[in-house]
Structure 1
Amino acid sequence: MMRNTEEADGFDGEASNTSMISGASSPYQPTTEPVHSRNVLGGIKCDTEYLKSNFGILKLIEVALSLIAFICIETIMLCLPCGGVYFYEFVSCSAFIVTGFLLLIYSLNLHTKLPHVNWSLTDLVNTVASTFFFFLASIVLAALNHTTGTEIVAVIFGFLVTAVYAFNTYLVVRQWRKGDGGSSGAQTSEYTRARTASRSDTEARPELH
């Protein structure tokens, strides 16, 4: 019985030593995970060049004007009828959220993490829809609710933000006609080149495989 116990202990010790040696000699444990984490964190940064571009400046203006329009419509305490107020409130809030989301995506280069999504088309749909619905909501509000100063100010900001969205739509359509896909296509191409260079560097170091 003692001999069997000693043999079992010896077998466990050899198995433990073998697993330790295998773990120490494995190339996957010390290299694969840190490289992946480093690449993910390094891709998120503020793109100041986009914020200084025409599209970045227009999005900042659209977000600001949509927020002001939403605040103006929220300050209306009494309305009769209220259908125009509610519709304007929905349009201004939706435009602020969607445009703000796209601004965050582009300014942090997060769109390069999802290259399969057509962000240029998404931006075009947002600008066209925001132009149409803001124009419609402003007309309805002006026709039904134009008695107080707050309602008039909301109408003014509604037409103003409609003009900004319309100009943004014109620029996006012009970029599409040129066939370069706008600033999003250029940033996606740069990301593709960076991934190709990273892959070539990984293949040149066989110890990472």
Structure 2
Amino acid sequence: MASEVYSPTTAPNPKSSWCLVPSQHLDKVRFLIKVTEVMFSFVAFILEEVVSSCNSCFALYFFEFVSCTAFLFTLLLLVLLSTTLHTRVGITCWPSLDFWYTALIAVLFFVSSVIFATDNNGTILEKSAVLFGFMAMLAFLVDLLFFYKTSGLPCQKPESSDGNPAVGAAQAETQKLNSDP
């Protein structure tokens, strides 16, 4: 009896969900790519931590720093962009931050993996850590390419035919408003 009275007027609130994927800053594909980045970075970090000895420890420590940093900060970025927490941080340029952070970590993973690959004891753990380092680097590169393909560079503004970016943005907005759905 009660369900007949309340069912036509009540509807679930879609904004009450804690996870907002897809969201304004993160679609489903990029969410899965970011989860992959976190996983590969974590496995690379764990494998590196299990290494018990090193001849020249600089390569090991640098790889440790990069993999741990990539794991922790990418996990933080993933949580911020897939929940409503990003609205409470006070950062307004999330696409730019995401793009340049991902580019920096991809470069650091490449450099640290190359250095660690050339300067290690040749154990299975070290080779596995290097492999996961390169896999994480590839995941970050895929993220960059997908970001660029779908959104372009975050620091570029659309220009109009007369070279004025503000007029170009206003014309694009007018075109969006006047287009048929």
State the Cα distance separating 1:145 from its structure 2 match.
0.6
Task: Determine the C-alpha separation between the residues in 2 that align with 1:100 and 1:146.
Answer: 30
- Would you say the 8 A contact 2:21–2:31 is kept in 1? no
2:98 is equivalent to residue 130 of structure 1? no
The Cα offsets for residues 107-152 of structure 1, whole Å up to 9 and x where unpaired, read as: 1122234565201111001110111000111100010015111000
Q: Which amino acid aligns with 2:112?
A: A
Q: Which amino acid aligns with 2:73?
A: V
Using the aligned pairs only, state the percent identity.
Answer: 31
SS in 2 for 1:49: coil
Task: Determine the C-alpha separation between the residues in 1 that align with 2:29 and 2:91.
Answer: 24
Q: What corresponds to 1:98 in structure 2?
A: 73
State the Cα distance separating 1:176 from its structure 2 match.
3.4
Considering only aligned residues, what root-mean-square deviation do their CA atoms show, in Å? 2.3
Pick one of 46, 56, 69 that aligns with 2:19: 46
Structure 1 residue runs without a partner (length 5+): 1-41, 182-209
2:53 is equivalent to residue 66 of structure 1? no
What is the TM-score with the length of structure 1 in the denominator?
0.61
2:121 is equivalent to residue 154 of structure 1? no
Task: Determine the C-alpha separation between the residues in 1 that align with 2:114 and 2:120.
Answer: 10
Question: If each structure's helix is expressed as a fraction of its own residues, which one has the higher value?
Answer: 1
Closer, same or farther: CA 84–119 of 1 in aligned 2, 3 Å:
same
- Would you say the 8 A contact 1:44–1:109 is kept in 2? no
Closer, same or farther: CA 52–146 of 1 in aligned 2, 3 Å:
farther
State the Cα distance separating 1:49 from its structure 2 match.
3.2
The Cα offsets for residues 135-181 of structure 1, whole Å up to 9 and x where unpaired, read as: 111100010015111000011101111111001011122233288x9
State the Cα distance separating 1:74 from its structure 2 match.
0.3
Task: Determine the C-alpha separation between the residues in 2 that align with 1:177 and 1:101.
Answer: 23
Structure 2 residue runs without a partner (length 5+): 1-14, 157-181
Task: Determine the C-alpha separation between the residues in 2 that align with 1:79 and 1:178.
Answer: 41
In our comparison, the structure showing a higher alpha carbon Rg is: 1
State the Cα distance separating 1:55 from its structure 2 match.
0.9
Q: What corresponds to 1:81 in structure 2?
A: 56
- Would you say the 8 A contact 1:72–1:154 is kept in 2? yes
The Cα offsets for residues 89-124 of structure 1, whole Å up to 9 and x where unpaired, read as: 000000011101111101112223456520111100
- Would you say the 8 A contact 2:80–2:86 is kept in 1? yes
Aligned length in residues: 139
Q: What corresponds to 1:20 in structure 2?
A: none
